[in-house]
Amino acid sequence: MVRIGPDDKIYSVSLLGSIVDSLRREGIDERRALEGVGFSPRAMRSAGTRVSLNQFVQVCANAAELSADPHFAYHAGQRVHLSSYGMYGFAILSSTSFRQAIDFAMRYHQLAMPVIDISFHEERGRAIWTFRPIAHLNAEPHVFDFLVELHLSILTSLHRDVMGPSFVLLEIDFASRRPRGAENYETIFGCPALFDKMENRLIYDGKFLDRQARLGDAIAHQETVKLCEQLMEQFQLRAGLAGRVRERLLRGRLAPTSFADIAKQLYMTERTLRRKLHQERTSFRALLDELRMRMAINYLRDTDLTVQEIAHSLGFGQAASFRHAFRRWKKAAPREFRHRLRSSTGRRARIA
């Protein structure tokens, strides 16, 4: 599992945007919906914008305060579909069985804006999802209740995406007390809603899991799983203090940015930065080495730059130093590695 902090900005803005859109339907200005989040409505519409778990929680806290709809969380959740989750959602949709879809959803849950911990099990013919708030998030108790109701609603919507419109629930349990409007929960969720329970749970008939997946495709599922693996690797690069250091190294094209420069940019002393990176089991030198390796592979695979040009681009004083480093990384010379890469893809290019 990737260690992701609540303030790491690595998630798509899509799910956050769906909450803001639901507020706009009530006539609430986007700027009020985004108060305290740290970016503009224009940034919210950009596919390149990345948000943190705490930013998403802040929008949910705003929604809990601004909306006049006592069931806003439910209605907003019903507007969320698998397409809102990108490759993660498409991998679920292409699963060849519902149990495979659930297994994938659990294993790659970190891709799905995980402000709630979830677990799944089957018991006496019933399928049961359990929801637990993540304690380290910056949220008040009533906001956690909002998040639970939102995710119960989202999960119901996603099940209908996968299993079809005939999907129904048997029961929903809330660990919270009965809120205002609780008498309507049975109607909106279509099943009994029980409060003051030990856990937050969504329960349905396990027979749904045995139905045939209408949209399943084994090849498409394999391909989307590979893409999700790549996304997990990208999360690793962006997460934590190490991710912030990587980001600044990339901005400086690796070589021109010194350790002292990055410590200053992060408003830390060099000693503090060194200690905190050690706590994340890494170091400035290891991060620099890792990023140089990744960029070298990209250059060799995707460009026709010479070895000398790649060495210069990565900050190596001499091509011989780059060749030595690359052999340490990949147990092969740069030209040999490029040849293998391009032979495997059938691409012909100048091998410099």
CATH of the domain at 111: 3.90.1520.10
Q: 66 and 105 in one domain? A: yes
pLDDT average, residue stretch 119-143: 87
pLDDT average, residue stretch 137-163: 90
pLDDT average, residue stretch 275-280: 89
Which segment of 57-66, 73-82, 104-113, 241-250 scores lowest on mean pLDDT?
241-250
* DSSP symbol at 177: P
Q: 44 and 186 in one domain? A: yes
Q: 104 and 134 in one domain? A: yes
More confident residue, 48 or 160: 160
- 181 lies in a domain? yes
- 176 lies in a domain? yes
pLDDT average, residue stretch 166-175: 94
pLDDT average, residue stretch 237-256: 75
Question: What's the pLDDT tens digit per position in 10-27?
Answer: 899 999 999 999 999 999
- 226 lies in a domain? no
- 225 lies in a domain? no
pLDDT value at 348 more than 80: no
Q: 198 and 293 in one domain? A: no
Q: Which domain holds residue 179?
A: 11-218
pLDDT average, residue stretch 145-165: 93
- 2 lies in a domain? no
The model's confidence at residue 174, banded by pLDDT at 50, 70 and 90, is very high
CATH of the domain at 276: 1.10.10.60
Q: 319 and 198 in one domain? A: no
Q: Which of 184, 218, 252 is the last residue of a domain?
A: 218
Q: 177 and 88 in one domain? A: yes
Total structural domains within the chain: 2
pLDDT at 346: 55
- Of 42, 324, 100, nearest to 218 by C-alpha is 100
Q: Coil, helix or strand for 119?
A: strand
Percent of the chain beyond pLDDT 70? 95
Q: Do 145 and 62 meet the contact criterion of CB atoms below 8 Å apart?
A: no
Q: 212 and 252 in one domain? A: no
Q: Which residues pair with 120 in a beta bridge?
A: 129
Q: 157 and 24 in one domain? A: yes
Helix residue ranges, H only, 67-175:
72-78, 86-93, 98-107, 141-163
- 177 lies in a domain? yes
Q: 252 and 131 in one domain? A: no
* DSSP symbol at 178: P
pLDDT average, residue stretch 155-167: 93
Q: Do 173 and 199 meet the contact criterion of CB atoms below 8 Å apart?
A: yes
Q: 186 and 85 in one domain? A: yes
Q: 88 and 208 in one domain? A: yes
pLDDT at 177: 87
Question: What's the pLDDT tens digit per position in 197-213?
Answer: 999 999 999 999 998 88
Ranked by mean pLDDT, the top range of 120-129, 229-238, 292-301 is 120-129
- 39 lies in a domain? yes
- 235 lies in a domain? no
- Of 153, 135, 160, nearest to 202 by C-alpha is 153
Q: 333 and 255 in one domain? A: yes
